[in-house]
Amino acid sequence: MLLLFFLFIIIAALLLQKASLKDQLLYISYDCRPDRFQVEPGQAFTIVTTVTNKRRLPVFFLGLEEHLPADAAIEGEGLAIRREDDYLRLTNTVFLMPKEVLTRSIKASLPKRGRYLFRGAYIYAGDFLGLEERYTSFPLTREIVVYPAPSKERYFYPVIGSLFGEQSARRFLLEDPILSSGFREYTGREPQRYISWPQSLARGRLMVRQFDHTQDLSVAILLNTDCGGYDRQEPTLIEEAFSMTRSVCEVLEEKKVRYSFLTNASTAGATGQWSYVASGLGPRHFFTIMEGLGRATYDYGEPCGSLFYRAEKRTEHSQAFIVVTTRWTQSLQAMIQRLEVVSGCTVYLLDAWSGAGASATAAAGVGVGVGVSADATTNAGAGVGVGASAGATAATGVSPAAGASREPYAVREVESA
């Protein structure tokens, strides 16, 4: 009787061994996703891992090797974590009952801007007797985007104040292209699209439509990541340009000023036509731009000249331009002057290089000085400086990129020559 019992146990073990080895990984499903897909730097989110056993038999041993973003900071104790070159390896072993769904949640955060991928996992399962293991992979392409942090430097705010002040003063000097009040002779300074061809033919000379004197302020932000004239792209300056762009958008949102966005930055992942975002306002508009900034790489999709050419084609009436760039250069200055001439709009310049490391200088500042250079081509036009010597710096109009002492963000209002 005892022999029959042991024989039954051996036969049952062999059957379980055979059953445990038969396509058991085909009945395992795996998923890993963050609970949100866009976050701020350092903001906590939850990584939810789900493992499902679809069989009617248990899985006696299941090992997981998950590949998480390399820069992720994982919260929790007792987790087997190992940092590799381009991913974070998180290992774990579980026992699954028949038809069981196992869900695990862990807190994590990401410290800096970027697009991060969850690349799936390797899963290995053991047999009933622990004699054999079989492996399979579950590739994933889940992603999470981290927005750029706002710029720590707040010394570019004078350019925003200058923008609002000038537009308020010109409120009754600019014309609204919607409300037509008549026609006048073409002088050569008006955009060609305002020419009225029927009136021109009737009077024998070029005539343009004359509009009512009202306006709503709008801003076009141009983000240039082409570090032209240098051997390579400069990640530190590009990151600062992204942060400056976010801060400018936040101020415009706060002031309820509609703004559009153009850039030559390349992005990772599908974001549609992010190189141009039409004029708008509100959370959806703001976070569309922020997602693109989070996905942006250190490459550029077109040279700076092509970006300015697109800006010229999209000029709107009663609009101002804010150009955010990595470095000020003479070629950039020429493009800005051309943009002012073609569009008839004011252009403000913020460059990341001139603002680097200038906090101490600005901390001693007590005012804002504004002056216009007589030679805009050589001296970068009008300068807006912040600091104890802001007035003198701005009055000379000398760009920090051209050899002057660095002023915070080298805020400049660029006038055409």
Q: Using one digit for the tens of pLDDT, what is the confidence trace for 71-83? A: 999 987 778 888 8
CA-to-CA dists, residue 238 to 40, 63, 288, 297, 324, angstroms:
18, 42, 19, 9, 10
Shared fold status for 25-145 and 157-174+215-414: no
How many percent of the chain have pLDDT more than 70? 67
Question: How sure is the predictor about 126, in pLDDT bands with cuts at 50, 70 and 90?
Answer: low
Q: Does domain 157-174+215-414 have CATH number 1.20.120?
A: no
CB 300 within 8 A of CB 267: no
pLDDT of residue 351: 85
Q: What is the mean pLDDT of residues 288-311?
A: 91
The pLDDT mean for the chain works out to 75
Cβ neighbours of 403 (radius 10 Å): 7
- Selected residue with higher pLDDT from 25 and 247: 247
In terms of C-beta density within 10 A (0-12 exposed, 13-18 middle, 19 or more buried), how is residue 266 classed? middle
pLDDT top residue among 4 and 49: 49
Neighbouring residues of 160: CB distance < 8 A, sequence distance ≥ 6: 248, 251, 252, 255
376 vs 221, residue with greater confidence: 221
Q: What is the pLDDT of residues 57-72, one digit of tens each?
A: 888 788 899 999 999 9
Residues facing 321 on adjacent strands: 220, 347
Quick check: 114 pLDDT over 60? yes
Q: Looking at residue 17, what is its pLDDT?
A: 59
Give me the pLDDT at residue 78, please.
73
Task: Output 113 or 227, whichever has higher pLDDT.
Answer: 113
38/187: higher pLDDT: 38
Mean pLDDT lowest among 23-37, 242-256, 270-284: 270-284
pLDDT of residue 368: 29
Output the pLDDT for position 16: 62
Mean pLDDT is highest, among 13-22, 122-131, 132-141, 260-269, for 260-269
Summarised one tens digit per residue, pLDDT across range 321-375 is 999 998 888 888 999 999 988 888 888 888 888 753 332 223 223 222 222 223 3
pLDDT band at 14 (very low <50, low <70, confident <90, very high): low
What one-character-per-residue DSSP string does 296-357 give? EEEEESS-HHHHHHHHHHT--TTEEEEEEES---HHHHHHHHHHHHHH---EEEEEHHHHTT
Contact 375, 175 (CB under 8 A): no
Q: What is the pLDDT of residue 125?
A: 80
* Position 316 pLDDT exceeds 90: no
Cβ(262)–Cβ(314) below 8 Å: yes
pLDDT at residue 94 above 90? no
Q: Break the chain into its structural domains and give their ranges.
A: 25-145, 157-174+215-414
- Give me the pLDDT at residue 360, please: 25
Residue range 254-291, pLDDT digits in tens: 888 889 999 999 888 865 567 899 888 899 999 999 99
Encoded tokens for 94: 């579980």
Q: Is the pLDDT score of 319 beyond 90?
A: no
User: Higher-confidence residue: 2 or 406?
Assistant: 2
Residue 4 has pLDDT above 60, yes or no: yes
pLDDT category of residue 135 using cuts at 50, 70 and 90 = confident
**Residue 48 confidence (pLDDT) above 90:** yes
The CATH number of the domain covering residues in 25-145: 2.60.40.290
pLDDT at 410: 40
* % of the chain beyond a pLDDT of 90: 30
Residue 168's contacts (CB-CB under 8 Å, 6 or more residues apart) are: none
pLDDT at position 112: 94
